[in-house]
Amino acid sequence: MSEPSPVAGVVDTAEAVRAGEQRAEDVVAQHVARAKARADLNALLHLDEERALSAARAVDERRARGEALGALAGVPVVLKDNLCLDGVPTTCASRILEGYRPPYNADCVERLIAEDAVIIAKANMDEFAMGSSNENSAFGPVKNPWDLTRAPGGSSGGSAAATAAGIGAVALGSDTGGSVRQPGAFCGVVAIKPTYGRLSRYGLIAFASSLDQVGTMTRDVRDGARVLRVLAGHDKRDATSAVEPVPDYEAACAAPVSGLRVGVLRAALDQVEDPDVRAAFSAAEQSLRDAGCDIVDIELPHAHHGVSVYYLVATAEASSNLARFDGMRFGLRVTGDDLLSTYERTRAQGFGPEVKRRIMLGTYALSSGYYDAFYIKAQKVRTLMVQDYQRAFERCDAVLSPTAPTPAFGLGEKTGDPLAMYLADIFTLPPSLAGLPAMHVPVGLGQASGLPVGVQVTTPAFTEVRMLQLAAALEARSGYVCAPPALFGGAG
């Protein structure tokens, strides 16, 4: 048997395992070893070595019996720790859920396993998916594989770091306001947020239910397309799951883009000061021109309200969703302590500062006398943002923008200023509020920073095919390969 490539992706791994050129057990063992070697990243909260190797052996045994294998045969997967995996610790990186083991699998997990993927680990994250830097985890911050002094982005920073470092061929995250795309940008990996309802949210522990969406992180666009095809589809257990046909996303990656109209927000670009981000956007725009796309200037008049709207809607929904974690049914166990004191300690220590901040903001926005002034007004502006996109898509087929206003910032750089941290999601928030598919596409390394930079592609609802067409064209013309320093060693 040949050894698997140290940077083999989803498609290459699956095809090699299906053809008998590699054993799934060897592939998984190598990724487990890499996870241990890169413990310095703090990207994982639970490495499920024994169970993963057992699942990989089962895949090999099925192939030996001549059975057909699935589209993700032997592919090592890392799950964000807010996705339920039967019998495996799922904490949302919070002390209040420490020790919780779900008795069921999330829908996306069921779909992965059905296609012979192997779940190897649970990834670190911002507590309850609340953050933009992965510094809010109760189990310590994740470090960026490109520079250990920098943030990997959040809240899916562990998933992004694990993908960039080659710990998993694919990682799943969750995206509420940019929590797949922004860490994808910081760590230089392809990150896809599908249309709201395209993927089931069953088994995803809720933050903000009208915004949450499972997303994928891979090392290239084609890999992301194959995983998306596996995960997409209606789920009767999720009332928000869409009944829509699932096209061949992988085939879309080879489709020409000539003639597509790409909209650009010039006013938003004027607010970007970072030279690497500006250069990356200009290069991407020129690449699409060279590929035959028509570039048109568009406006989204209400997009600048995105941060304000998001932090009213999302925190209001969070305050409702997290009310269940009241210290009585979830949280610290009573072990001889007085019940009341245990309850008080859970309320005081169970949630971290950022989660408490957002619960308080949301509760205030929903309180008597402020519900109409804040929450209802935010929902009205959200509707205006949806209408802005509808008008824009009458003039263009896709919107191109930066994904983040800067490359990865330093650990601790923004923790003392929550507003500055929130502004890291300024470009990812509008598509989330409108429920649209959007993805981050890396296009290179910044000349000034030496860190990954890229762009965001947004298209109308349920047009992921068009989004992937453009992403694949950008990737092909950039020549970018995700290869952080010390990829297979320790600290870089």
Token pair, residue 359, equals 């619960």
Report helix, strand or coil for 172.
strand
- If phi > 0 it is left, if psi is from -120 to 50 it is alpha, else beta; for residue 259 that is left
Is 308 a catalytic site residue? no
Is 241 a catalytic site residue? no
Identified catalytic residue from 179, 287, 319, 449: 179
Is 179 a catalytic site residue? yes
- If phi > 0 it is left, if psi is from -120 to 50 it is alpha, else beta; for residue 132 that is alpha
Place of tokens 């000539």: 258
Identified catalytic residue from 80, 122, 143, 193: 80
Identified catalytic residue from 133, 137, 155, 174: 155
Query: What is the distance between the alpha carbons of residues 151 and 158, in angstroms, rounded to a whole number?
Result: 10
Query: What is the distance between the alpha carbons of residues 492 and 472, in angstroms, rounded to a whole number?
Result: 30
Instruction: Return the exposure string of 379-418: e unless at least 16 CB atoms fall within 10 Å of the residue's CB, then b.
Output: eebbeebeebbeebbeebbbbbbbbbbbbbbebebbbeeb
**Alpha-carbon dihedral sign for residues 378, 151, 438, 281:** positive
- Write out the DSSP string of 78-117: EEETTB--TTS---TT-GGGTT---SS--HHHHHHHHTT-
| Side-chain half-sphere exposure of 2, counting CA atoms within 13 A | 10
- Write 372-375 long-range contacts (CB < 8 A, 24+): 374/312, 375/312, 375/313, 375/316
Neighbour order of strands in the sheet with 294-297: 44-47, 118-123, 76-80, 170-175, 213-218, 190-193, 438-445, 452-458, 398-402, 261-264, 294-297
Report helix, strand or coil for 330.
coil
Cis peptide before 155 (omega within 30 of 0): yes
Element (H, E) at 170: strand 170-175
Query: What is the distance between the alpha carbons of residues 216 and 327, in angstroms, rounded to a whole number?
Result: 32
Q: Which active-site residues does the annotation give?
A: 80, 155, 179
